[in-house]
Each structure stands twice: as C-alpha cells, then as structure tokens.
Amino acid sequence: MTTKVAVVGATGKMGRLISGIVEESPEFDLVASLDSRSPLDDMLVADLVVDVTVPGVTQKVVEFAVANGKNVLIGTSGWSADRIAGLRRSLGEEPTAGIVVIPNFSLGSVLATSFAAMASRYFDSIEIIESHAATKVDSPSGTAVRTAELMGAARAALGPVAAPHTDQRARGQQVASIPIHSLRLNGVVAKQDVVFGGTGEVLTITHETISPSAYTAGIGVALTAAATARGVIVGLDQLIGLGGRPPQSGEDAGATAAADSARPTDPDPENVSGQAATATSVHP
C-alpha cells in the first residue's frame, strides 16, 4: 500500500526536491502540493504531510495537520526544544500519530553534530559559526541550534561553557550557553564549524553542504520513518543508529518507530553526495 503525501511549501527549493523524491518512489503517492496561496484543507487527502515552509508558518501548518490526525515530517527550521515539547504534549501519552522533525537531512551533517557532541565533554570553550545563503530568513540555523542543544546535553554534568562577554551583540546568540554566529552570504549553500578551544590547541569540526543533493538519502529515510511513526522523533541521527544502537541487519524502516524511537535501515552511503566534512586539530 502506498502512503499518500502532501508537500506544504512545494514551490520552494526543498519542496521541489522532496516532491521529486516522492514522485519517483513506488512507496509514496504525491496527492497534494501546497504553497502560500493554498488553503490548508488541501492537505486533508494525504496520510503524511511534509512541511518545508518558513519558520513563521510551520507551527500553523503542523498544528493543523496534527489536529486532523496526519503524520507529519518537518524539515522547516525553527523547531527549538521548547516548541518540540509542545508537539509531544499535543500528541498525548498514547500517540496515534507521529511527527518526525529533521533539522538537517544531510548524513554528513548529522555525523558532524554527533562528533561535536562527543568532543564537547573534553572542552570548556566552544563556539559555533554557521554560514548559509543570503536568502535564508531565519537565524541561527536549526542545525546549529540542535548541535548546541546536543552538546549542552552531552556535557550537562559539566555546566555551561566558558563564553566571556556574551552581553556584547557581536558575541553571538547563546543556545545551551554556547555562542552561535550566523553568516548569510551569496554563494554559500550551508556550512557549519564547531570550534573547540583547549589548552594549546584548537579542534574544528566542519561540515559543508555543496549541493542540495546532499539531502536526498536523508529525505528518503525520513519519509519512510514518518509514514509509520508514532510519537515525536527528532533528528536523522535517531533514524540511522546514531541515537543509541546501530541499525539491525534487515530491520524494516519504521517498524520500530514507537514513542520517540525509530531506527530504519541504514541509508546507502553511496547515494549521499554533494557534501564535505573535515575534523582538524590545529597545533601552534
């Protein structure tokens, strides 16, 4: 049986990419394409609603979809931990629908975030610099917020990072005590540097998206998980084994998606392209 999909934000860059993937997949049927002029009712013919709109609109779209019993895949930026807690409350204790929130569909990016969380316990001086196209309307990026939140959680027992003079505007916006600096530049797709200052050394974990094709494999994994999810799942890391245990051989995508945990089949790394990740340690 195919899953009927509505894409909200279908005329945008992400919406066009996701619509193409849905149309090419035998598992899915694209039944509605919504833009800023469409009534939200247009999504009601679908089982799964994909939201790739803008931060000021996404909450209204998702609340409407959830109120109508739809499963939802959110790719739009701006879903902080507080707003996601609201989603969990709206689904209740025994959810009959699922919401999958993916701040970044790129495999390289979630790996870089995972490496950053691992490193964060060994450094007290941590800052993030994220760069996106000048057309991106929100800041900091959803990926930067999630990276900071995961590092904050990983080093919870150590307390806040050492970030001096954060009362000055040029010192960035703090998330989980970690300053984030946002650059908006022509010519950039997406780049993030997590910089760790240590004693006599600096470690930088860099991920760069070179082309939107970097999102293709992650979108496929997320669509499959979102079709059957129950509860709220946050992050591609949760779907590819980085969130706890590695994916089991032959595990069916979405089969274990229950109450905040779904770990479908590993995406084929051969399908992931258009991105570069490096980790460099700079010694004086």
Ligand X SMILES: NC(=O)c1ccc[n+]([C@@H]2O[C@H](COP(=O)([O-])OP(=O)(O)OC[C@H]3O[C@@H](n4cnc5c(N)ncnc54)[C@H](OP(=O)(O)O)[C@@H]3O)[C@@H](O)[C@H]2O)c1
Report the alpha-carbon distance of residue 3 to residue 9 in Å, rounded: 19
Under rule CB under 6 A, residue 59 binds ligand X: no
Q: Note if the bond before 140 is cis, omega within 30 degrees.
A: yes
CB nearer ligand X, residue 8 or residue 91: 8
| Residues annotated as part of the active site | 132, 136
CB nearer ligand X, residue 11 or residue 204: 11
* Residues between 165 and 204 with contacts to ligand X, criterion CB under 6 A: none
* Residues between 12 and 31 with contacts to ligand X, criterion CB under 6 A: 12-15
Query: Is the Cβ–Cβ distance between 211 and 236 less than 8 Å?
Result: no
Report the alpha-carbon distance of residue 75 to residue 65 in Å, rounded: 14
Under rule CB under 6 A, residue 281 binds ligand X: no
Under rule CB under 6 A, residue 104 binds ligand X: yes
Total residues at the site for ligand X (CB under 6 A)?
26
Report the alpha-carbon distance of residue 4 to residue 227 in Å, rounded: 9
As separate numbers, helices (DSSP H) first and strands (DSSP E) second, the chain gives: 6, 12
CB nearer ligand X, residue 13 or residue 89: 13
Is residue 156 helix, strand or coil?
A: helix
CB nearer ligand X, residue 56 or residue 69: 56
Under rule CB under 6 A, residue 103 binds ligand X: yes
Q: Note if the bond before 26 is cis, omega within 30 degrees.
A: no
Which of 8, 31, 117, 144 binds ligand X (CB under 6 A)? It is: 8
Please state the closest distance from residue 243 (CB atom) to ligand X, in A: 17
Under rule CB under 6 A, residue 113 binds ligand X: no
Nearest residue to 204 via CA among 195, 216, 192, 191: 195
Q: Quick one: tokens of 170?
A: 């040029």
| Contact code string over 204-233 relative to ligand X, x by CB under 6 A | -----------x------------------
Report the alpha-carbon distance of residue 73 to residue 227 in Å, rounded: 9
Q: Which residue is nearest to ligand X (CB)?
A: 12
Containing 245, the helix (H) or strand (E) segment is none
Binding site for ligand X (CB under 6 A): 8-15, 34-37, 52-55, 57, 75-77, 102-105, 136, 215
